[in-house]
Amino acid sequence: MSVDFDTARHRVGSAGPGDPRTTAERLLRSTADNALDGELDIDWDAPLDPTKAWLTERRGTLFGTKMWDALTPEQQLTLGRAEAVAVLSYGIVAEMGLCNNLLRRVFHVEDFTEPQMLYSLTEVAEETRHSTMFGRLINKAEMPAWPAPAPLNWALRLMGFVPHGPLIFAITLIVEEMLDAVQREATRDENVQPHVRQMMRIHILEEARHITYARTELVRAIENCGPISLAVNRVLIGLLVLIVMPTLIDPRAYISVGISPTRGWLVAQRSPHYRENATFACGPMLRFFGEAGLIRGRVTTLLYRASRSLPEGLLASLRR
């Protein structure tokens, strides 16, 4: 099946948050009309191109640093592949957490035929296929999938005790929106591996529906939240944004080119391109958070400023 990915994404995601039931019905129709499967729609038997990258070069964590310039072209490709594997490994763990939250909602639904419940199950099916697709791509890379750090595993287990509210849906958006712009950029980059580009096309198409659904439910959760609870949720969401970007790439990826994890991570955090990459990845999500009223208050604002991910327009408005 041939799909215009950019058009499909615009059609799914451009309407913005609306009535949850109507949104769920629309997304169910979109799922039926634009269904892809990483097992069938990626040519896994095709060989990799040893001259092509696994990420758009400028989105690498060390790009633009002296450490990056000291690497040979072959080492730069190796590091890009290791960082891609790190993101895919992170993605598998994160999507397991998302599925856990979606299934928790299903258990609390009284009517198992309502559109929101049906779409939640549909999203679980898509997320599990994504994890399978990520796993196959890691195998294709011939690099080990690093297990999630123990604190992250504990955090995912504890999420089962977090009440459903703004935080839960914000977590979904943080996981799914942060890489959306990066993926769309990579699909247009002829220097990126064909397998990676096709995987990203599939992911973009289906995540557009997930983002639309999460935005709709986040707005509803904010409306139903009391002032004290909302203030606590704002701080926790800001804290997550502060933490996720620096931890997205497992520092063990630097070992692939003989760089110590600690030294590589510190150089990446000080990179002149860090803020550019952070705002590129987080900009659309944070603009939405700002419109939804989540970036408000002294503590919350300090957390977002510390994350270095606020787009310039939003940062200027906060200064005023």
Q: What percent of the chain has pLDDT over 70?
A: 91
Lowest-confidence pick of 59-73, 144-158, 204-218? 144-158
Any domain includes 274: no
In a domain, residue 269? The reply is: no
- The answer as to whether 320 is a domain residue is no
Task: List pLDDT tens digits, range 110-129.
Answer: 777 788 888 888 889 999 99
pLDDT for residue 7? 41
Does 209 map to a domain? yes
Neighbours of 228 (CB within 10 A): 8
What amino acid is encoded at 196 in this protein?
V
Average pLDDT estimate for 161-184: 85
What distance in Å separates the CA atoms of residue 126 and residue 142, rounded to the nearest whole number? Answer: 25
Mean pLDDT of 184-193: 94
Q: Which residues pair with 53 in a beta bridge?
A: 192
User: At how many degrees (to 10) do helices 194-223 and 274-292 cross?
Assistant: 30
Instruction: Please state the pTM of the whole predicted model.
Output: 0.86
Structural domain count of the chain:
1
Residue 149 has pLDDT above 80, yes or no: no
Task: Write the pLDDT tens digit of every residue in 286-309.
Answer: 999 999 999 998 999 999 999 999
Residue 236, pLDDT score: 92
For residue 2, pLDDT over 50 is answered with: no
Nearest CA among 152, 168, 306 for reference residue 237: 168
Q: How many CA atoms lie within 13 A of 15 on its CB side?
A: 17
> Which domain covers residue 112, as residue numbers?
5-226
pLDDT > 70? residue 73: yes
Considering only CA atoms, which of 176, 297, 310 is closest in space to residue 236?
Answer: 297
In this prediction, residue 62 carries a pLDDT of 97
Q: Percent helix, strand, coil in the chain (nearest 5)?
A: 70, 0, 30
- CB atoms inside a 10 Å sphere around CB 68: 20
Is residue 267 assigned to a domain?
Answer: no
90 part of a folded domain: yes
Whether 256 maps to a domain, the answer reads no
CATH number at residue 161: 1.10.620.20
Q: Does residue 6 carry a pLDDT above 70?
A: no
- Cα 231–Cα 236–Cα 238 angle in degrees, nearest 5: 95
75 or 116, which is more confident? Answer: 75
pLDDT of 46: 94
Q: What is the mean pLDDT of the chain?
A: 87
Within a domain: 292: no
Residue 167 reports pLDDT greater than 60: yes
The answer to whether residue 1 scores a pLDDT higher than 50 is no
